Chain A
Amino acid sequence: MAELLEISGLTIGYGWKGRPMVTVVRDVDLALGAGEVLGVAGESGCGKTTLALAASGLLDPPGQVLSGSVRFQGKDVLSLSPKELRGLHLSEISMVFQASMNVLNPVMRIRDQFLDAMKYHGVSDRAEAEARAREMFDLVRIPQRFFGAYPHQLSGGMRQRAVIALALVLHPKVLFLDEPTTALDVVVQRSILQMLNDLRRQLDFGVMFITHDLSLLVEIADRVAIMYAGAVVEEAPARELYEKPRHPYTEALMKAFPPLGGERRRLEGIAGQPPDLRHLPSGCSFAPRCPKVIAGTCETIEPPVVEWSQGHRAVCHLCSQEEARVV
């Protein structure tokens, strides 16, 4: 099956001309199919947001794509002109970012912000545009009486839902969600995620869901990619990742969340700090924090990509010693 969105060998750096470049995303390969939810998880600074920005064509200087490509339905996103990108955004590719309840224009009625966006993308019949916007309001479960309201009259959760409605009103094929619910409460978060899940089934769009909350991803994503220091260290179907994490970092990340129930016992976080991206350690970049580090190997030699089964790969020396296929 031809993938909807294909990221291959993407390497991104930050830096101004003449200054040394800091590489924040290294050689990332990811693919997203229609109707699929791909989760991307990692600590802050692991490059997950930069990846989403670049993949949606929104990366601004000092950010720079150093190599690799992003293809959306075969089209090279990175070579599009700003005008072509504007045509693509909202109608084909939409984004919802972390504090996006604050992206609404505070002095414009929500209705007008919807109509504006649709007008730009060629829905010029006002009655039709309004009907479509109202339909989205129903889908994201905002009462219709808020349609003509200003953003400040809505609660945080409602504003977030309004932004999601705006992102989906033109039925895009790919939706980027960058920590869309971290600023919200668990109950609101759950209802938004559930709503997204329903919408995905109805509208059949692909979602790239970025968060640091791995426990959340395991529940809602089909596949999960774990990023560390700019690189994908493990990728697997969500269930498999939860049941059999292969990379020690995935394992540690998984253990960093206290379980909801069960016996009270002490858990340990991940020791140490993520590496300074300007001076990445040689070999595996997780080696200095890894509880299972193989002395003499991990600190010096680049870890290989190891594949267990279709769609489950990890980049780790330890994994390569177990029974698996090195690719």
Chain B
Amino acid sequence: MSRTLGRPDLPDDTEQGPVPVLDVRGLTKEYKVGRLGRQKVVHALTSVDLTLERGQVLGLVGESGSGKTTFARTVTYLERPTAGEVILLGRSLPLRPTQRRLREQRSQVQMIFQDPYTSLDPLRTVRYTVSRPLRSLGEVPRRALHEAVEELLQMVGLVPPGEFLRRYPYQLSGGQRQRVGIARALAAHPALLLADEPTSMLDVSIRLTIMNLLLDLQRSQSLSLVFVTHDLAGASYMSDQIAIMYAGHLMEVGPASEVMGDPRHPYTQLLQQAAPDPGSDVGRADRFEARGDPPDLTVVPPGCPFAPRCPQARSECQEALPQWRQVGPSHRVRCVLYG
């Protein structure tokens, strides 16, 4: 591939080791909802700390409303964070960046959206959609544009590219649309890709193909990837690291094999029991115990957000948010059970 991405903009490694591609500190996002006077604050994301090393895949897992999409959207600055810091390749982004700075950021981090049916402009051809970021973010000269678009389509498996250039989204299948979305994200030449449930709207038979495509691209283009999903099995298939979110909080972060093989947080354990797993014994459904619904994000209890549903909750859980506990070299969990 002629565009193999030797990025001149990658920072030099410091003495402390390589600079992580993404370093998020205290990331918080609040939304105000409701009419004036009766306004409530939705705490979508609360003080999230997360690092991602270069070339790694991080699976971000949680139920809907857990803040995983908000995380992706604030890291890409599609939504401005309320507080906290997003450090990309060693450079921190101000809470109110200039347009220029924002553009610079967007050439390093790109997003793939959940719904391939609404995330493409229905009135634009594939060629236009994929060439847009090349023109506005990249330094591809006009005459090389056509070639670059063809190359991107080839990369995502839309072959022969000539057949797809002039097509409109309605002429593509769901899987093909998602490939266009991936090509559009790659066009910006990013170091980091955030994929927000990229396969949940696709048919079963196509899901794995798209997951494999993302893994191949991640390796061949030395990308880092955040794979946002509610599907634990999919996350474990894709990821080196897994982070579990609940009610806007990170609950457990660690190597995928450890989080899957030996989940520590009761919420992670609940998620694992809930996931369909035909390999296990029959009758597992009977042993599963799920209490209550996901929490109301407008009311913030002082303690652990999972405490009301937790089968192992103690009185101290209701009092204060548990501190992070280290349960392995790079495996941490926010739970009082591991004192």
Contact = CB atoms under 8 A, between A and B. Distances in A.
Contacts of A253: 204-205
Given A187-B271, A193-B285, A197-B285, A257 B233 contact: yes
B125 interface: no
A157 to B, nearest CB: 6
A239 interface: yes
A264 B234 CA distance: 11
Interface string A243-264: 0000000001100111111001
Contacts of B232: 186, 260
A273 interface: yes
Interface in A206-252: 212-216, 218-220, 239, 242, 252
A188 interface: yes
Contacts of A215: 276-278
Contacts of B204: 43, 212-214, 253, 256-257
B284 to A, nearest CB: 7
A170 to B, nearest CB: 26
B141 interface: no
B205 A256 contact: yes
B217 to A, nearest CB: 14
B273 A190 contact: yes
A260 B272 contact: yes
A157 B290 CA distance: 13
B237 interface: yes
Given A253-B205, A256-B205, A260-B260, A187 B233 contact: no
A269 B206 contact: yes
A321 B286 CA distance: 40
Given A260-B232, A261-B260, A269-B209, A186 B63 contact: yes
For the side of the interface on B, what is the size category?
35 or more
Contacts of B64: 156, 185
Nearest to B200: A182
Contacts of B37: none
A215 B208 CA distance: 14
A261 B203 contact: no
B33 to A, nearest CB: 14
A194 B261 contact: no
A190 B236 contact: no
B307 to A, nearest CB: 16
A158 interface: yes
Interface residues of A, number: 42
Counting chain A CB atoms within 10 Å of each CB, the highest count among B204, B270, B274, B288 belongs to B204
B173 interface: yes
B212 interface: yes
Contact of A258 (B208, B270, B278, B285): B208
Interface string B36-76: 00000000000000000000000000011000000000000
Contacts, number: 115
Given A185-B63, A185-B64, A186-B230, A267 B293 contact: no
A157 B293 contact: yes
B160 interface: no
Contacts of A216: 276
Interface string A102-141: 0000000000000000000000000000000000000000
A256 B277 contact: no
Contacts of A258: 208, 211, 233-234, 236-237
Contacts of A259: 233, 277, 279
A259 B261 CA distance: 12
A187 B270 CA distance: 8
Nearest to A196: B285
Contacts of B299: none
B276 A267 contact: no
Contacts of B290: 187-188, 190-191, 194
Contacts of A297: none
B207 interface: yes
A85 interface: no
B144 interface: no
Nearest to B291: A191
B327 interface: no
B274 A187 contact: yes
B10 interface: no
B286 A186 contact: no
A143 B257 CA distance: 38
Contacts of A197: 285-286
A226 B212 CA distance: 25
B275 interface: yes
Greatest chain A CB density within 10 A among B203, B209, B237, B273 is at B203
A268 B208 contact: yes
Nearest to A42: B204
B274 A190 contact: yes
A82 to B, nearest CB: 34
A199 to B, nearest CB: 13
B208 A267 contact: yes
Contacts of B257: 264
A155 interface: yes
Given A43-B204, A189-B274, A257-B204, A219 B282 contact: yes
A213 B233 CA distance: 13
A239 B282 contact: yes
Contacts of B276: 213, 215-216, 218-219
A189 B276 CA distance: 10
A259 B272 CA distance: 12
A219 B230 CA distance: 19
12 contacts: A155-B293, A185-B64, A186-B232, A188-B290, A191-B288, A213-B276, A219-B276, A219-B285, A258-B234, A267-B212, A268-B212, A269-B205
Given A185-B294, A239-B282, A258-B236, 7 more contacts: A190-B275, A190-B290, A191-B290, A214-B204, A260-B272, A260-B279, A269-B205
Interface of B: 63-64, 173, 203-209, 211-212, 230-234, 236-237, 256-257, 260-261, 270-279, 282, 284-286, 288, 290, 293-294
Top 4 nearest A-B pairs (CB, nearest first) are A269-B208, A258-B237, A218-B278, A190-B274
